[in-house]
Structure 1
Amino acid sequence: MANYIYGKVKRKQSIFRVIETEAEVYDTAQLNLNGVEYNPATLIENEELYQLSDFSQSGYSFDFIDNDLDSVNHDQIAKADLKKLSFICTVQEDLYFFQIINSSFYVSKKWFSIDELALETNKPIITINPFADAIYDKLRDILYFKKLTAAQKIFKGMDQLYREATDAETATFLANEFLDVNDNFITGNVTIPNRKRIALVNETLNRFSDDEKQAIYNYTNQYGQVTYADGKFKIETDDDLKFVLWGIEQRFYTTHIGGEKRVANSIISI
């Protein structure tokens, strides 16, 4: 069965046909697509993958993977455009392997083939990584990826999955009644990691009832990292804010054996 490599050219909307080949570019027999549903609070190991289920409904997909794929509907890429690729996509049956293309993937050095032992000087090549930046399983409608920063270069808007709170959102959060913010601690003092946490916990707090919010405040106070008086956490530093945000995310826990208080660096819902 023929496999195809397609390419997206910078500043052009179309996706072009690049290569048709009978060879497998990726070894699908050894491929284990078993991801963890994406959550900014979840850190994965090197051998693990994030996944976004129902990807076609996510708002980040585009026509190339949404529509039935027919190579005749895609023009052959012009040779001049091969140096303008932003990403390539290898299609093997119902799997779409996406790889970002940047200058490091172009090899223009002198080289020779160990098969033909012929020196080549004017045949620059594009290298393909052994593992793609993103893999879309069309049958299961799941996108797999290791790094959101890479995937969002292909699927525009995915950075919203882990966005920073705006200045206005940060200021609104600091004005919450459960916070007593020092006058010297202003919006500009809030670091990027905490802005990302604020963007997440705003949604969390909106889902909580008043009783649940109070339970979260009491839970956070149990771990004693920030002064809590008269129903307010005293915020004087970015670290104070970080501990309160961790509390709202319910990252604190006590070990069953030993009773040691800890904070979870990564969270996976089970």
Structure 2
Amino acid sequence: MANYILGKVKRKQKMFRVLVTETEVYNTDELILNGIDYNPSTLIENEETYQLTDFSQSGYCLDFLTNELNTVEHDQILKVDLKKLSFICTVQDNLYFFQIINSSFFISKKWFSVDELTLETEKPIITINPFADAIYNKLNDTLYFKKLTSAQKIFKGMDQLYKEATEAETQTFLENDFLEVSQDYGAILVTIPNRKRIALVNETLNKLSDNEKIAIYDYTNAYGQVTYENGKFKIENDDDLKFVLWGIEQRFYTTQIGGEKRVANSIISI
């Protein structure tokens, strides 16, 4: 069965046909797509991937994924454009394997093949990773990926799945009634991880009633890492803010055996 490699050239909108091969590029027999619905609060193991279901309806999907593949409709890429590739897509049956292409994937050195002992000089090659940056399964309309930062380079707009608060949004958050922020610490000093947490926490707080918010603040205070007086957490630095944000996300728990207080590094809803 034929397998196809298509390519996206920088500053050009359409996909180009790169090559057709009977050789299997990715070993699908050993491929296990263990997908977990994407959530920025969830960390995955090495053997796992994030997933976005109903991907064709997400607004991030590329047009050519929604149609039946017809390679005749794709122009053959020109040799001069091969060094301008931003990503390639290998199509095997109903699986689409995407790989970002950057300078590290171009090899332009003198080399010789172990099959043919002749020295090659002006034949640069593009290497293919054993695991793609993103895999789209057309049968179940699901995109699988390990790093959002990589996937969003292919599917523009996906970075909105894990947005960070702007400086204005961060400043507004720091002005909340339940925070008392030191004059030596302000929005400009809030790190990117905390800005991302603020974006998530804002959504959480908007869903809570006043009584639920009070319960969350009491719960956070029970783990006693940040001074809490007169209904306000005293924020002196980025670590203080991180602790309060963890509390609002309800990441703290106490082990049933031993009573050890812990913070959950990753969360999966069950």
TM over 0.5: yes
Separation in structure 2 between the aligned mates of residue 174 and residue 68 of structure 1, nearest angstrom: 50
Hey, what does 1:224 align to over in structure 2? 224
Hey, what does 1:142 align to over in structure 2? 142
Q: Contact 2:34–2:47 (CA<8 Å) still a contact in 1?
A: no
Normalised to the residue count of structure 2, the TM-score between the two structures is: 0.97
Separation in structure 1 between the aligned mates of residue 83 and residue 66 of structure 2, nearest angstrom: 27
Displacement after TM superposition at 1:111 (Å): 1.3
The runs of 4+ residues in structure 1 deviating greater than 4 Å are: none
Displacement after TM superposition at 1:14 (Å): 1.0
Matched, 1:250 2:250: yes
Q: Superposed, which structure 2 residues align to 1:1-270 within 5 Å?
A: 1-270=1-270
Could you report, residue by residue, the CA deviation over 1:211-263 in whole angstroms, capped at 9, with x for unpaired residues? 22121111111101111122211112111111100001111000010101111
Q: Which runs of 5+ in 2 are unaligned?
A: none
Could you report, residue by residue, the CA deviation over 1:100-132 in whole angstroms, capped at 9, with x for unpaired residues? 111111111111121222221121111111110
Letter in 1 for 2:128: I
Letter in 1 for 2:235: I
Letter in 2 for 1:16: F
Could you report, residue by residue, the CA deviation over 1:25-49 in whole angstroms, capped at 9, with x for unpaired residues? 1011110011111111111122221
SS in 2 for 1:219: helix
Separation in structure 1 between the aligned mates of residue 6 and residue 195 of structure 2, nearest angstrom: 38
SS in 2 for 1:87: strand
Could you report, residue by residue, the CA deviation over 1:76-119 in whole angstroms, capped at 9, with x for unpaired residues? 00111011100000001110000011111111111112122222
SS in 2 for 1:244: helix
Identity rate, percent: 78
Separation in structure 2 between the aligned mates of residue 57 and residue 235 of structure 1, nearest angstrom: 42
Separation in structure 1 between the aligned mates of residue 124 and residue 187 of structure 2, nearest angstrom: 50
Separation in structure 2 between the aligned mates of residue 161 and residue 241 of structure 1, nearest angstrom: 22
SS in 2 for 1:25: coil
Q: How many residues align?
A: 270
Q: Contact 2:33–2:48 (CA<8 Å) still a contact in 1?
A: no
Separation in structure 2 between the aligned mates of residue 223 and residue 204 of structure 1, nearest angstrom: 20
SS in 1 for 2:130: coil
Judge which range, 239-248 or 109-118, deviates more: 109-118
Separation in structure 1 between the aligned mates of residue 220 and residue 109 of structure 2, nearest angstrom: 58
Root-mean-square deviation (Å): 1.1
Displacement after TM superposition at 1:183 (Å): 2.8
Letter in 1 for 2:150: A
Q: Which runs of 5+ in 1 are unaligned?
A: none
